[in-house]
Chain A
Amino acid sequence: MAIDKSMNVLIVDDYKTMLRIIRNLLKQIDFNNVEEASDGAEALSKLRTGNFGLVISDWNMQPMTGLELLQEVRQDSKLKALPFIMITAESKTENVVAAKQAGVSNYIVKPFNAETLKDKIEKVLGHA
């Protein structure tokens, strides 16, 4: 299944350097329509007003965490099927389980490489 790389991707992280890194890595794999949000609340607002095909979010953010954002997305009738990848340094089993139970599409642990990002995106969008 061919992936539409012209889709809008929302990346969410409270750390600007990380947003910049993810944006550049996405650009390397031909995802050029990338928007940024610095926390879950801002992301949710953008998701509700925009047209996105993928969310890539950090976990540890305030005022709304990545997990809370995921839960909001899955409870929103218009967004609930949106592919959602969590990229986080939180690698404890209970974190991964909590994300899975909340409906995460895939989970990438930091530090990650471009190949892992590409692989997870293809898996998630291939199943979308």
Chain B
Amino acid sequence: MHDLASVNSRLEQLRQRYPQGDAEMIGNIVRAVLTTMRGDLTANETTLLAEIEELASTVANARAEIAALGADDITASHIPSATDELDAIVAHTATATDSILECCEKIDTVTPRLTPEDAEVMQDVVTRIYEACSFQDLTGQRITKVVATLKTIEAKVAHIIDVFPPDPTGDRAEAAAQARKDASDDVAPSLLNGPQLPANAMDQSDIDALLASFD
């Protein structure tokens, strides 16, 4: 049996070699301990230590793969950029819709000066424009749903980074926690689902029939 001093000496060498410590270091320590102590372990203990070594290797590989994916960029750049773009779409279409409505309201003020026939045509056209402008409300709600989905993805990616940080600094864990908090703040649980996709939605006649079934 090797004496304890020899094992401690080996561990100290490892500490000096890997002062920050990481999963790979754990694997190295296990290998070193196995090399040092294998003769004193039972078969089960040896198997257990080998599995721990393999687990440490798996964790190290996962961290390396996450680092290679640039997962931090997803939460730090890609998703915030996408949500900003979507917010901008909502803002631009809202501005355009307001301009269209303003024009229609001006047309409404001069319509009475037209002949009755022309006034009727004009009013019909303006009514259809008003109806069409409600697209802004629906697209806004749909985009809000997409933003909420992106925030959920962002939070899940942040969680993965939190569990398997590419490096041991605390910055990413803090960012992950903040991303999760932002996501939960932005999605109001009391609100409903918003507009359904046309293929899944009931139309007005379906709703009329449903309401009539109560009578």
Contacts and interface: CB of A to CB of B under 8 A. Distances in A.
Nearest to B132: A111
Contact of B207 (A17, A27, A60, A109): A109
A79 B137 CA distance: 29
B82 interface: no
A90 B101 CA distance: 24
B59 to A, nearest CB: 43
Q: Which applies to chain B's interface (DSSP): helix, strand, loop or mixed?
A: helix
Contacts of B202: 91-93, 96, 109
Interface centre among B104, B127, B135, B203 (most CB of A within 10 A): B127
B209 to A, nearest CB: 10
Interface residues of A, number: 32
B204 A109 contact: yes
Given A60-B194, A90-B194, A92-B202, A17 B130 contact: no
A100 B209 CA distance: 12
Interface stretch (B14-22, B41-49, B184-192): B184-192
Contact of A25 (B131, B141, B204, B214): B131
Interface string A45-89: 000000000000001101001000000000000000000000001
Contacts of B191: 60, 62, 65
Contacts of A91: 195-196, 201-203, 206-207
A122 to B, nearest CB: 14
A114 B178 CA distance: 46
Interface in B141-191: 141, 188, 190-191
Interface string B46-67: 0000000000000000000000
Interface residues of B, number: 37
Interface centre among A27, A114, A116 (most CB of B within 10 A): A114
A18 B137 contact: yes
A20 B98 CA distance: 9
B25 interface: no
Contacts of A96: 202, 207, 210-211
B138 A110 contact: yes
Given A62-B191, A90-B193, A96-B211, A21 B204 contact: no
A106 interface: yes
A90 B195 CA distance: 6
A8 interface: no
Interface of A: 15, 17-18, 20-21, 24-25, 27-28, 59-60, 62, 65, 89-93, 95-97, 100, 106-114, 116
12 contacts: A17-B101, A24-B130, A25-B131, A62-B190, A89-B137, A92-B202, A93-B202, A100-B214, A109-B207, A111-B131, A112-B131, A112-B204
Interface of B: 94, 97-98, 101, 104-105, 108, 123, 126-127, 130-131, 133-138, 140-141, 188, 190-196, 201-204, 206-207, 210-211, 214
